[in-house]
Structure 1
Amino acid sequence: MGLSKLFIALFVFQVLFPCHMSIQAAPANSNLFREYIGAEFNNVRFTDLPINSDVEFHFILSFAIDYETSGSPSPTNGKFNVFWDSDNLSPSQVSAIKSRNSNVKVALSLGGDSVGDGYAYFHPSSVDSWVSNAVSSLTDIIQEYNLDGIDIDYEHFQADPDTFAECIGRLITTLKKNGVISFASIAPFDDDDVQSHYKALWKSYGNLIDYVNFQFYAYDQGTTVSQFMNYFNTQSSNYNGGKVLVSFISDGSGGLSPQNGFFTACSRLKSQNKLHGIFVWSADDSKRNGFRYEKQSQALLASSH
């Protein structure tokens, strides 16, 4: 085929079949910093944290859980209640920190590891009833607290992956469509059961998920920089096209710690245009060291812009 005919054929193919020619652009470096706050009731406040004006800063309230708040909590089929330290992280304090810092947004995280003395399970009675209850109860909380987004951090499941995907996918779809939230994230980690649920969600609704808060600190303590880079590449493949954020845990109990090369790994990712953001678990623990590594994280993120 002559060169001119080849160009014409390609042009016609693109016109007739444009969807087959579209390629999702890979996410690039970002100045996004996110921090979970309020789960451990350590009297930490938004104002305790250093906020670099040159980053996009997300606080993530931990947690809203669809369980009763009684002494022996039980599942409520999507009727969410506040389980974070609402005395120190109240609606008025959310409004105050956002009004003082134009780069700050505040989200809430759903689920978490535990409630009371047991695990917090994802346990819907049915897709329709769970979604209806979740949309209603979360809309009330989000509007009361003047929040911007949600994070999905269920870690234990009494439902199959397809049910989880449909419930969470429809929840995010509805909250975004109603203008209740402007972003959504998920927080998986490297566990077969956890990954099966989140990958099902990603497969069906990944286009609605803005950030992947992958819990890299759930890997073994003493993770090396090279291992971390491999883990990052693996999870970027699992959540293909997603903004996979890197992370560390404040108490150093797992993963690649700031003392052992976390920021070296971040710099390498930044040089590869793959540093989509950093998040930390959690402000409650970081309070002890004066948020030293939060400052370092934000400085590194800000330097790329």
Structure 2
Amino acid sequence: MEGEFEIIDPVFQRYVLHNAKLEKLATGFRWTEGPVWFADAGALLFSDIPNNAIMRWIEGVGVSVYRSPSNYANGNTRDREGRLITCSHGQRAVVRTEQDGSLTVLCDRYNGKRLNSPNDVVVKSDGTVWFSDPHYGIKMDYEGGRAEQELPCNVYRFDPHTGRLDVMADDFGGPNGLAFSPDESRLYIADTGAFHDDNAERHIRVFDLEAEGRLKGGNVFHTVSPGAADGFRCDEDGNVWTSAADGVHCVSPEGRLLGKVRVPEMVANVTFGGRGRSRLFICASTSLYSIYLNRRGVQKP
């Protein structure tokens, strides 16, 4: 343990700045999730799901409400045009915020049946929108509203050019966070298990992306302990920075735990942002944290 960092593999020494301290940027939320960086606005957006709001943080300004009510927004990302893409528990949909601020529902049904509660989302370089759809938001009223489950817990790909929605993976108990490797040859997907199933599998799986856009493989990549991998992002070298109960864990492309950023609250999700995209923003239970690293996140619009 060295300051904010726990070094497990010596290579992790090169990724951290030992004079960089963990900063608490804001607190007083109920459950923070879905951080996304807007470099063109110098702002971070993130969800406070139980408070039914999307919040905005700006350096030197602090936190303000970006959207309330947010229809119990969870995961957020940006598309290739820089528009906000949001997973909505309340609408049971994936929603796009247009440049004029209006909202467009991209998808809320598959084969005529309602989605469960879209959770996390990423956009591939071809513009397709990939998202997980576990049942967490319809199993309780705290982060959405209890409702009948009409579909299995799948991972989907939505093509905004054609309007087509396809099931890409259907063998998860509770698919959650997901992220592409820097070259998009791999897709990492977390399985945090079925709701209230203490014996459920909780790990990150890795899939190869075939030329036709299909997923192949799905072996276990890494199992986080303590806690579970909820949300994660990749850096420029392909390392996976994932949430855990004791902070943020850095996992090599081979699935080896390299080190940890210690955080005093359970972490839900992370994203890279700031100058050079070398600042890791951390959504941890009731608070928003950040820390500077000696690695950059994968570039986005």
TM-score by length of 2: 0.31
Higher relative contact order structure (alpha carbons within 8 Å, sequence separation ≥ 6): 1
Larger Rg: 1
Q: Counting strand residues as a fraction of each chain, which structure ranks higher?
A: 2
TM-score, normalised to structure 1, is 0.31
Higher helix content, 1 or 2: 1
